[in-house]
Amino acid sequence: MVYCSALNCQNATSGVYKNSTVTFYGFPLHNKPLLKQWIHNMGREMGTPSKHQRLCSKHFEDNCTIDNICETLRYPSE
């Protein structure tokens, strides 16, 4: 099961917090400047995320696509 890594977000791929309307994105581990921006925009103190951690689409601007993996995160989300 995949959970969102954003603080206070309970979106998941299964179980009681399953949300089929969100997509989960892995952190850009091989793009250090973008990774740093994602972590900063999350507003959460954390080290380097693992390859298994994800953010759900709830935390990205609406114009983000898989081809344009968005440098701007929307946090905190409504």
pLDDT score at 53: 93
pLDDT score at 69: 56
Q: CB neighbours of 26 closer than 8 A, spacing ≥ 6?
A: 51, 53, 54
Q: What is the pTM of this model?
A: 0.73
Mean pLDDT over the full length of the chain:
80
Residues constituting the chain: 78
Contact 5, 38 (CB under 8 A): no
- pLDDT beneath 70, residues of the chain: 64-78
> In the structure encoding, which two tokens stand for residue 77, read together?
């989300």
